[in-house]
Amino acid sequence: MAVDIPAAKRAGLPVDLARLASDGDGWVTPEERYALKTWGVCAQLQDHVFMVRVRVPGGVLTTEQARGLARLARRDGPDWLHLTTRQNVEFHWVEDRRVPRLLEDIARYGLSTRSACGHTLRNVICSEDAGVGLDEPFDCFPDARAVSDAIVARSGTLNCELPSRVNISFGGSPRCREDALINDAGFVSVVRDGEPGYELWAGGSLGKSPSLSVPLADFVARADVQAAAEALIDVFCAHGDFEHPAKGRMKFVVARLGAAAFRAAWDQAFAEARAREHPPLPDVGVVADETRAAILGTRPPGGWSAGVRPQRTSGFALVTVDIPLGDTCGSEVELLADLADRYADGALTISRDQDVVLRNVAHEHIPAIRSALRERGVFLVGEGHVARVRACTGSAVCALGITSAPEAGKVLLERPALGRNSSLRVHVSGCPNSCAQHQSGDIGLAGGKVRIAGETRDGYQVFVGADLADGKVGEVVGRVVGDNVPAAIDALVGAWEAIRHPGETIGVTARRIGLDAMSAHVEAALRDAWAPGPEPEHENARSL
């Protein structure tokens, strides 16, 4: 049955967790199921089981929290934890009557599922390199956490007022600038006259109507960061389309008002928000640079790589553990927690690529970490000889999923064409809603019903041409059924290898020669197994 989301919000989003525990979910109406989403509890495709999403602001888990989630995954599910691109942790296959107790136990570890789904402030993501990476000018994690905590504290009323969800990012690296372009709000770490603060961008989003953010402010002082975020929320609630969720995102407000009028509305709301009292932020200071020569003049055992990256302090490294497709289990998480306590800073940082980063690892400890992981068949990024593939959970569990994104992702992990080009990013979404951000990858796949050679089957629209720095998201070059995805990827990568100019990404190459030319090459390789261009709009009508 269709859900009336505005009606659910006007009713106050009531959730009877006690009845869910005693009676299961047979009595739950569509509007009550939506209310459950605002508590991070989402119905799976299967009856009487749920996905439960845990907010991890900035992606940082203490080892105690990580071990706690591992224990709960064994108790209340199939010992499966999924790490998301928004640095959350998901439980799947949680039986309806077990959900309330799981929420209580998650809270005992200082974590929450509140506002993890639905039209809420989703998790505030933060650079996993904040404060220690060479491209990060200061530690923005405390600010990301403060913004998350302040807005989620208002969730009881705010979740009834927001027109749609809000995604916020923090960080200062080139990668973080890309995040700022595709999120509703992006705080880009900068330093002006020795003072740490942020550029502020707003209105970005992917999915069926992709739009990149517009600049709102070239500098917001750290002391004002909570007010800046609150002002955005205030403008969004005042001007967003509450009654029509499909047009509710902030990008539609920017488009309707225009960038200048949106900026003016935010300026006024920001002035009002700054007049309100906000809790003080901890001092972080600007990280003093050692010379790059001093940092790179040391060599960790095994050398530098994508999985072992230098920190600003010589002798220490960021060590990234590859978690293919973001899927892990309790014992693996416990192993990582042990390594973090023994060799790092006592925390696991979930990366935006669904991996786990150990920070502040002394060079001499890297061999011990590498050895402990390999005993379990786990590797540092770049050492397991698998491609870099990002995937959502897809139709296996998601009620919105059309295709099984993880199955496509698993096949692609071993493709030689991707293996010999380890920097290529392939993003696989099980539907057009872009949970895996397929329009920002080097190659993107969006699941849907596709018509090939006169037959409609489950398959993927294939996206190339992303160059966010130049204001371009990936576009559809063709469509293919699931079984032929590997051949299509091989053809695209092969064409890029043959004609790229030095330093070109596949997106830049595709734009230079023309997206139609890339599509024509795949069609020549796959013949009747490929159809150029996007599927007609009515074929992929499902949307959040």
Q: Which domains does the chain possess?
A: 5-108 (3.90.480.20), 137-274 (3.30.413.10), 292-374 (3.30.70.3340), 388-540 (3.30.413.10)
Vertex 469, ends 433 and 381: CA angle to 5°? 70
Q: What share of the chain is helix, strand, coil (3-state, %, to 5)?
A: 40, 25, 35
pLDDT tens figures, 65-124: 999 999 999 999 999 999 999 999 999 999 999 999 999 999 999 999 999 999 999 999
pLDDT, position 289: 65
- In the sheet that holds 475-481, the strands lie side by side as 388-391, 425-429, 443-452, 455-464, 475-481, 530-532
* Contacts for 359-365: CB closer than 8 Å, 24+ residues apart: 359/128, 359/132, 359/311, 359/318, 360/132, 360/311, 360/316, 361/316, 361/317, 361/318, 361/319, 362/315, 362/316, 362/317, 363/298, 363/299, 363/300, 363/301, 363/315, 363/316, 363/317, 364/301
* Residue 393 CB neighbour total at 10 angstroms: 24
pLDDT digits (tens, 9 = 90+) for 13-47: 999 999 999 999 999 999 999 999 999 999 998 99
Helix (H, G, I), strand (E, B) or coil at 481: strand
Stated as kind and residue range, the H or E segment containing 175 is helix 174-181
Q: Is 369 left (phi over 0), alpha (psi -120 to 50) or beta?
A: alpha
E strand segments, 101-245 = 121-126, 166-171, 185-192, 195-202, 214-221
| Mean pLDDT, range 294-316, rounded to an integer | 93
pLDDT score for 135: 93
Q: Which is nearest to 254 in space by CA: 207, 204, 200?
A: 204
**Residue 393: is its pLDDT beyond 90?**
no
**pLDDT confidence band for 540 (50 / 70 / 90):** very low
The predicted model gives 118-136 an average pLDDT of 95
- Please give the pLDDT value at position 121: 95
Question: What's the distance, Cα to Cα, between the start and end of the chain in Å?
Answer: 14
pLDDT at 541 (0 to 100)? 40
Note the pTM of the prediction, 2 decimals: 0.94
Residue 312 has pLDDT above 80, yes or no: yes
Which H or E element spans position 409? helix 405-413
- How many residues does the structure list for the chain? 544
Question: Burial of 306 by CB count in 10 Å (0-12 exposed, 13-18 middle, 19+ buried)?
Answer: middle
Q: Where are the beta strands (DSSP E) in 436-508?
A: 443-452, 455-464, 475-481
Per-residue pLDDT tens over the stretch 238-275? 999 999 999 999 999 999 999 999 999 999 999 999 99
Q: Could you tell me the pLDDT band of residue 539, with boundaries at 50, 70 and 90?
A: very low
Predicted pLDDT at 538: 47
Distance CA 383, CA 469 (A): 29
DSSP classification of residue 467:
B
**φ/ψ of residue 143, rounded to 5:** -75, -40
Please report the beta strands in 270-382, taking only residues with DSSP state E, as ranges in sequence order.
308-310, 316-321, 327-328, 347-350, 356-362
For the ranges 303-312, 395-404, 475-484, the lowest mean pLDDT is seen at 395-404
Q: How far apart are CA 394 and CA 431, in angstroms?
A: 7
Once rounded to an integer, what is the mean pLDDT over residues 129-140? 94
Strand order of the β-sheet with 316-321 is 60-62, 347-350, 356-362, 316-321, 308-310
**Residues 140-197: tens digit of each pLDDT:** 999 999 999 999 999 999 999 999 999 999 999 999 999 999 999 999 999 999 999 9
Q: Quick: pLDDT tens for 196-218.
A: 999 999 999 998 889 999 999 99
pLDDT of amino acid 404: 87
d(CA 434, CA 374) in angstroms, rounded, equals 33
Contact at 8 Å (CB) between 282 and 134?
no
As a whole number, mean pLDDT of residues 425-447 equals 93
Share of the chain above pLDDT 90, in %: 85
Q: How far is Cα 199 from Cα 177, in angstroms, rounded to an integer?
A: 10
Exposed, middle or buried: residue 234 (CB in 10 Å: 0-12, 13-18, 19+)?
Answer: middle
